[in-house]
Amino acid sequence: MVSDIRQKIVASPVLSDLTNAVFFGVLSILFGYVKIQMPDFGGITADFREIPLLIGLFYLRSFWPILIMCGITLVTPSSVSWVTVFSMHFIALFFTRIAYEKLIVPITLDWRKAIGWIVVSTIYYVIFIVPLLIIFNQMISPQSGYVFGSYYMKMLQLIKYELVVTVLVTTMYLVQLDIRRRLIEHELTLEQQVRDRTQALASANDKLQSMNENLDDLAIQRSLKIKDQLNTLNKYAQMNSHELRAPLSNILGLVSLLKKKNDEEERTLLIESLDVSAERLDEIINQMNELLEKEMKLPAEREGK
């Protein structure tokens, strides 16, 4: 049942994004309790909530779940206004998501992808989180003697450990995630190849079975043909040994009598008998010829079919 629910969530982009946004948002709350004190900034503290928020970008398919993650992370106690926390995270995560999609995802080599993400995640802090935190915090709680450059350099100095830890952790996670995804893709490719080979073998087996059936049919046809030929030869031999010899013997006997008889009437009768025997001999020869012609036509007709 759990597996079915997981498959449904993965298959639906909306459910998948919602689930990942909630999960990494809650995880950011837990990481947010790991505090780094920043006494020079009026009680402002740093934390490690950025780690799950950045990792969450690796799983999102659209931008709207960023709002959910930013909203959930507000539950973490913070020393600055919730407007500051929400705004700086949303703006930073929005542009980082674009950079990840356009610049990091197309990279295929692991080490290049790691270097690219180190640059992007560093920019996440240096260009977005730190400046936005200072700007929004000053707008909501103005402080005297405010100098942006001075505050900016001090904050970079104070959050350097958070920045390094976040960049390293998210980079290592991205590399292993990319390797795991490629392994899954490779496994799916192998499974597809196995299915294709299985189908090819099944198709070849069907062809072999069809060929065997055709060979069986051909063997039966050859047997019938040989049987027909034997019957024809037997009939031909029978006609040659019996039916053909009788009229031929009559003709030879009549010819011998004609040589001995001088009476015209007797010779006329012998000639008439000789004519009858010759016609019978001609009829038998024609039958034999037809039998031979039929035997010659049958193989040609079979080959034509």
In a domain, 232, yes or no: no
pLDDT band at 72 (very low <50, low <70, confident <90, very high): very high
Average pLDDT rounded to a whole number, residues 229-248: 67
pLDDT of residue 287: 74
Query: Beta 35-37 vs 45-47: how paired, if at all?
Result: antiparallel
Q: How many angstroms separate the CA atoms of 110 and 100, rounded?
A: 14
Please give the mean pLDDT across all residues of the chain.
81
Return the CATH number at 113: 1.10.1760.20
Q: By CB neighbour count within 10 A (0-12 exposed, 13-18 middle, 19+ buried), where does 232 fall?
A: middle
In a domain, 180, yes or no: yes
pLDDT band at 29 (very low <50, low <70, confident <90, very high): very high
Range of the domain at 44: 2-198
pLDDT of residue 51: 94
pLDDT of residue 4: 59
Q: Is the pLDDT of residue 222 over 90?
A: no
pLDDT of residue 261: 63
In a domain, 25, yes or no: yes
The DSSP 8-state label assigned to residue 45 in this structure reads E
Give the tokens for residue 103. 């610049």
Q: Do 161 and 252 reside in the same domain of the chain?
A: no
Q: Do 92 and 186 reside in the same domain of the chain?
A: yes
In a domain, 204, yes or no: no
Q: Do 46 and 162 reside in the same domain of the chain?
A: yes
pLDDT band at 195 (very low <50, low <70, confident <90, very high): confident
What is the count of structural domains for the chain? Answer: 2
With tokens 């930013």, the residue in question is 70
CA proximity to 81, closest of 55, 43, 53, 119 = 43
Q: Do 127 and 264 reside in the same domain of the chain?
A: no
Q: Do 31 and 141 reside in the same domain of the chain?
A: yes
- Please give the full DSSP string across 122-141, using - where no structure is assigned: HHIIIIIIHHHHHHHHHHHS
In the chain, % of residues over pLDDT 70: 77
pTM score, whole prediction: 0.63
In a domain, 234, yes or no: no
In a domain, 210, yes or no: no
CA dihedral 223, 226, 231, 237 (to 10 degrees): -160
Give the tokens for residue 90. 């949303």
Q: Do 130 and 279 reside in the same domain of the chain?
A: no
Q: Do 179 and 249 reside in the same domain of the chain?
A: no
- Please say which residue of 168, 198, 228 terminates a domain: 198
Q: Is the pLDDT of residue 277 over 90?
A: no
pLDDT of residue 272: 73
Q: Do 141 and 34 reside in the same domain of the chain?
A: yes
Average pLDDT rounded to a whole number, residues 196-213: 84
Q: Is the pLDDT of residue 14 over 70?
A: yes
